[in-house]
Amino acid sequence: MATIFDIPSSNTSAFPVPKYDIPDMDALPAELLSTDEVLPDVAEIEAVRHYTNLSRMNYSVDTQMYPLGSCTMKYNPKLNERVASLDGFANLHPLTQPANAQGALALMWELASSLAEITGMKEFTLAPAAGAHGELTGVMIIKKYFEEKGEKRRVILIPDSAHGTNPASVAMCGFEVREIPSRSDGDVDINALASALDENVAAMMLTNPNTLGLFDRGVLDISKLLHSKGALFYADGANLNAVMGMAKMRDMGFDLMHINLHKTFSTPHGGGGPGSGPVGVRDDLVKYLPVPVVMKDGEKYRLEYDRPSSIGRVHSFYGNFLVCVRAYAYLKRLGATGIRTTAETAVLNANYLRARLKNAYNCPVDRICMHEFVLNDKGLPNGLTTNDVAKRILDYGFHAPTVYFPLHVPGAIMIEPTETESKQTLDAFADAMLAIRTECSENPGMVHDAPHTLPVKKVDAVLAARKPVLIWKK
C-alpha cells in the first residue's frame, strides 16, 4: 500500500517541520538532525486517507475475533464507554472533597458490594491498578496477616499452571516460591501438595479455572489441606469470566482473591492499560485492606483512612476510577441473571470450538473445559510448529490465540472465544483452523512462510528480539 511519502510532491509545503528547540542537539542521532525536511505537499483528503489507511492496519476487537486464552479480550458494549465519558465522571478532579463526590463514592461502594456478592468475599478494595497489582496487594495482606500473628512463614505455593505474575508478586514481597506440579488430567497433584505443605507455608495461589481452562476438581481438598496447616488460600481471579454467577470463590475455600475488571467486567484492554484489579477478602482480613476505604454512613459516603492494621496505600488517590465506572455499568446492565448467562455462554462457546478442533489438533487434556482450552502442535507434519500455525491464522482475518502458554504444555495454543462471539464467528474461526491443518499436510510452505496478506510478512523472531530496529529510516 502506498504511503503519503510516495505521493509526488513539489517539496514546497506550506507546513514545514518546526525548528528543533532541544538544547543538546549533539545527543540526537544524525538522521534526526535535518532541518530542511518538509511535510509532503498534499491535499487534505490525501492526508485523511493516509491516516485512515494507517488506522486500518491495526487489529482490534471491533474488527475481528480476539481468541486470546487467559486474556478475555472480548467485545465491550459502547454504552459503558459513554457512561465513563459523562462529565460528572470523566472531569471529576481526584482531589475533590468527599462531600462533593457523593455520586462517585456511591458508585465505588456499590461496585465493591456487587463484587463481594459475586465472589462471596466480605469486602473489596478497588485500589489496585491491574491484576498483577492486585496479586501484589493480596500477598502484602498475607504477609501482614502472619506478621500480626507473630509467625514467620516464608513460602508460598504456586502451581506449574499459574500465570507468570503469580511467582513475580510472591518474590517481590520477599517470599520463597515453591512450585506444585499438575497431574496429567490438568488438576493440581494433591499428593505433591501434601508433601510440600508444612508450617513454613503462608499460602497457595491458585487460578481456578486454571490456565488449561479446566476447573480444578480438587479445590475443596486443597482448601482443607492448606487450612489444616494454618495457611491461606489465594484465588487468582483472572478467569472469573467462566464461573461468575454460577459459583462463589469463597465457597470453594478461598480466603482472598483479585479480580481483573478489565478482563471480566468491560474495559477494553491491551497495550499496557487501563486496568483494575480489586482485591476481596474474608471477614478477618478486612482490616488489612489498603486505605482509603469507601464507607457508607446512612445515606452519606466517606473515605476512611484510620485503619491501624492496613497495609497502607497501594495506589495514588482511589484506583483507576473510570475502569470502575465501566464495570459498574456492565454489572447493572446485566444483573444477576445476565452475569450467569455470560459465564454459561463463555463455557458453551469454548466447548463448541474444542469439540470442532480436538480431532484435527492434539488436545493434551481432553475433557470438558470452562471458558478456554489448550491444543498443541504435537503431531503436526512437515516440521511445522505452533508459531507457524499462529502466523497463518492472521491470513484468515483472525488474531492469533495465545501461544506457548501455559508453559508446562509444549507447543501450546490456548483458545478463548469469550461469550461475545456468535456461532457464525465461531464456525468461521474453526473452519480457518481446520483449513490450516489441511495445509500443514498438503501445502506446508503456505503455513511455514505465513503471513502472506499483512503489511509485515514473516520476520526472523530471534533477530527481531535481539536486534530490534528502534529508529525508522527512510
Q: Where are the domains of the chain?
A: 4-56, 78-334, 343-456
Share of the chain above pLDDT 70, in %: 90
Measure Cα distances from 188 to 161, 171, 237, 306, 405 in Å. Answer: 9, 21, 17, 40, 17
pLDDT at 30: 65
Q: Which residue, chain included where needed, has cell 494507517? A: 54
Give 290 or 74, the one with higher predicted confidence: 290
Q: Which of 215-224, 267-276, 304-313, 413-422 shows the lowest per-residue confidence on average (mean pLDDT)?
A: 267-276
d(CA 327, CA 84): 10
Could you read off the pLDDT of 227-236 as tens digits, one per residue?
Answer: 999 999 999 9
Are the beta carbons of 215 and 159 closer than 8 angstroms?
A: no
**Which pLDDT tens digit goes with each residue over 287-331?**
999 999 999 999 999 999 999 999 999 998 888 999 999 999 999
Q: Which CATH topology does 343-456 take?
A: Aspartate Aminotransferase, domain 1 (3.90.1150)
Greater model confidence, 154 or 2: 154
What integer is the mean pLDDT of 431-446?
98
CA distance 281 to 298: 24
pLDDT score of 25: 57
Q: Which residues pair with 235 in a beta bridge?
A: 206, 257
**Where residue 51 falls among pLDDT bands split at 50, 70, 90?**
confident
Tens of pLDDT, residue by residue over 457-473, are 888 888 888 888 776 55
Greater confidence (245 vs 463) lies with: 245
Does residue 137 carry a pLDDT above 90? yes
DSSP 8-state class, residue 9: -
- pLDDT for the residue numbered 199: 94
pLDDT tens digits, one per residue of 192-230: 999 999 999 999 999 999 999 999 999 999 999 999 999
What pLDDT sits at residue 472? 55
Confidence of residue 31 (pLDDT cuts 50, 70, 90): low
- DSSP letters for 31-60: GG--S--B-----HHHHHHHHHHHHHTS--
Dump pLDDT digits (tens) for 167-190.
999 999 999 999 999 999 999 999
DSSP secondary structure of 196-241 = H--TTEEEEEEESS-TTS---TTHHHHHHHHHHTT-EEEEEETTGG
Q: What pLDDT, on a 0 to 100 scale, did the predictor assign at position 18?
A: 64
Strand bridging mode 201-207 / 300-304: unpaired
Report the SS3 class of residue 328: helix
Do 179 and 230 meet the contact criterion of CB atoms below 8 Å apart? no
SS3 428: helix
Task: With cut-offs at 50, 70 and 90, classify the pLDDT of residue 163.
Answer: confident
CATH class of 78-334: alpha beta
Is the CB of residue 203 less than 8 Å from the CB of residue 233? yes
Reported as a pLDDT band with limits 50, 70 and 90, residue 3 is: low
- At 341 the three-state DSSP class reads helix
